[in-house]
Chain A
Amino acid sequence: MEETEKRSYRGDFPVRDEDVKASFKYNVADMVGGEGLLRCLKCGACSGGCPVGAVIDYRPRKVLGNVLLGLKDEVLSTDQIWLCAACFTCEERCVQQVNFTDVVTVLRNMASKEGHAAQGYVKMAEMVRQNGRVSARTGLVDKMREQLGLPPLHDPDITQLQGIMKAAGLNEVLAANQKKEVESD
């Protein structure tokens, strides 16, 4: 194992009353996927099996602890919710069916609404919004497919798709996160 890296999410600071939003955990638990949060015993089975935790100092239990404590800003504006690989190992191990991966999805949706989505994710989502897919086809790809006897790839009906994504509310979320990029420049 390589030397562990320090990440800002560890929150090595005194917790102040004004940073605690007592209702935060209930807001998360009210969302589809967040229901398991309040069952968490903080036993740490999730951290023990985490593949990200095996190479850097990342602990799902710590993230859950921060949410349960009500550290809303700390949770929603830092890397901690974006470093999960969504491998479901912790969900498999959890004795309380907290479903950490689903809780993380709820938290990411909340963070994104506030303009705190990880930039790598925004870039990929923007690509889907523009092209309907994450990998662009090229002339080389067409040639490889022909060689393999596969049918050529056609792009999906992009106007139809963009209409669906817009109506679902994706554009607002992307706009909220683009603004952030401009501000930080």
Chain B
Amino acid sequence: MKEYVLFRGCVTPVRLPAYEAATIAVLEKLGINISPLNNTNCCGAQYIESLNENAFLALGGRILALAENEGKDILAICGACAGSLKHVKMLLDRRKRARADVNSLLDRDGLQYTRKVEVKHLLDVFEQDLTLSSLESAITNPYTNIRLAAHYGCHVSRPFDDMNSTSGKVPTIIDSIIRVAGGWPVKYEGKFRCCGAPLLAMDDKLASKVGIEKIRSIKEAGAEGIVTACAYCNIQLSQVQLGGRLGKSRMPVITLPQFLGPSLGILDEELGMHMNRISPSRILESLTGVRY
């Protein structure tokens, strides 16, 4: 059985704990063992990275080293965390001097990074450790007649290369999972465009504008909900709809494991459905079969 330590990050466990719970419930159901990675810090993505790259490499290196102590690969479910840990790993693996510098900072606390640990995002686990056919056979309550928009998240999927399991093409895994679970993935303009969240620290009005453009385009395509794979994207695409600039009808935003969970027969409470800021009932009503 494949095992991972879950790097929760800063935002997910505090602002979107339902994503964390749903990830664990869904992966355990599919035969992947998840244990928490404790004593972790912020990965330093964006803020520390922009101010001081050395500190950024040290913070990322510390997380990688903590996981090596556990002897398991890292699963990260936030785009910023997964993207930055992969980036730090790539830099430290390629550059001996940077690695030595980081290790000298970690050394006094008895930590070392030796290049062994791998970093996976949730989507990599679906691409690499699971198959769509095994997923299909685990589905007990398929969705029907529901049109959903996949939002991949920039730091989850870019660059479109092997590091992010896309082998140079645009990612399709969320769309495939929507289809396997019985939903209809919709095409929409600007599908791989940013949600605007990284601009929040700079200019929140600008960040909202970018997010609202995305929601408008998804609405135009006739989708009834959005499926995400990043805590930041999920929070951003929900909160831009609460500002009143898009009218009264709100489109539910749901994380991938929250979407998949009910179709695998997992209880809504376990998936934290009631904690979503926009009720996902429109999506859940389209489930078929006997539930509970």
List, in ascending order, chain B residues with CB within 8 A of A79's CB.
202
Asked if A95 is at the interface (CB within 8 A of a chain B CB), the reply is no
Asked if B188 is at the interface (CB within 8 A of a chain A CB), the reply is no
Asked if B203 is at the interface (CB within 8 A of a chain A CB), the reply is yes
Asked if B224 is at the interface (CB within 8 A of a chain A CB), the reply is no
Q: Which residue of B lies closest to A138 (CB)?
A: B14
B90 CB to closest chain A CB (Å) equals 11
List, in ascending order, chain A residues with CB within 8 A of B10's CB.
133-135
Measured CA separation A168–B18 after assembly (Å): 35
Q: Which residue of A lies closest to B158 (CB)?
A: A88
Contact with A along B32-45 (1 / 0, CB 8 A): 00001011111010
Asked if B272 is at the interface (CB within 8 A of a chain A CB), the reply is yes
Asked if A22 is at the interface (CB within 8 A of a chain B CB), the reply is no
Q: Which residue of B lies closest to A99 (CB)?
A: B159
Asked if A167 is at the interface (CB within 8 A of a chain B CB), the reply is yes
List, in ascending order, chain B residues with CB within 8 A of A153's CB.
8, 13-14
Question: Is A161 in contact with B41, judged by CB distance below 8 angstroms?
Answer: yes
Contact with B along A16-56 (1 / 0, CB 8 A): 00000000000000001100000000000000000110111
List, in ascending order, chain A residues with CB within 8 A of B194's CB.
51-52, 85, 87, 89
B5 CB to closest chain A CB (Å) equals 13
Looking at chain A, what size class is its interface with the partner chain? 35 or more
Question: Is B159 in contact with A88, judged by CB distance below 8 angstroms?
Answer: yes
Measured CA separation A136–B14 after assembly (Å): 7
Measured CA separation A83–B209 after assembly (Å): 13
Question: Is B40 in contact with A125, judged by CB distance below 8 angstroms?
Answer: no
B167 CB to closest chain A CB (Å) equals 14
A48 CB to closest chain B CB (Å) equals 13
Q: Which residue of A lies closest to B274 (CB)?
A: A147
Stretch in B101-109, B126-134, B140-148 touching the partner = B101-109
Asked if B69 is at the interface (CB within 8 A of a chain A CB), the reply is no
A58 CB to closest chain B CB (Å) equals 9
Measured CA separation A2–B210 after assembly (Å): 11
Question: Is A144 in contact with B213, judged by CB distance below 8 angstroms?
Answer: no
A61 CB to closest chain B CB (Å) equals 18
B53 CB to closest chain A CB (Å) equals 5
Given contacts A52-B210, A82-B202, contact A165 B55 (CB under 8 A): yes
Asked if A145 is at the interface (CB within 8 A of a chain B CB), the reply is yes
Question: Is A156 in contact with B50, judged by CB distance below 8 angstroms?
Answer: no
A124 CB to closest chain B CB (Å) equals 4
List, in ascending order, chain A residues with CB within 8 A of B199's CB.
52, 83, 85
List, in ascending order, chain A residues with CB within 8 A of B192's CB.
89
Measured CA separation A157–B40 after assembly (Å): 8
Asked if B173 is at the interface (CB within 8 A of a chain A CB), the reply is no
B248 CB to closest chain A CB (Å) equals 21
List, in ascending order, chain A residues with CB within 8 A of B108's CB.
163
Question: Is B36 in contact with A128, judged by CB distance below 8 angstroms?
Answer: no
Asked if B95 is at the interface (CB within 8 A of a chain A CB), the reply is yes
Question: Is A120 in contact with B202, judged by CB distance below 8 angstroms?
Answer: yes
Question: Is B14 in contact with A105, judged by CB distance below 8 angstroms?
Answer: no
A126 CB to closest chain B CB (Å) equals 9
B44 CB to closest chain A CB (Å) equals 7
Asked if B206 is at the interface (CB within 8 A of a chain A CB), the reply is yes
List, in ascending order, chain B residues with CB within 8 A of A83's CB.
199, 202-203, 206
Question: Is A128 in contact with B47, judged by CB distance below 8 angstroms?
Answer: yes
List, in ascending order, chain B residues with CB within 8 A of A54's CB.
193, 210, 213
Q: What are 18 sample pairs from A and B whose C-beta atoms fall under 8 A apart?
A: A51-B193, A51-B210, A54-B193, A55-B206, A55-B213, A83-B203, A85-B194, A85-B196, A89-B154, A91-B159, A108-B51, A109-B52, A128-B48, A134-B11, A135-B11, A148-B270, A164-B109, A169-B55
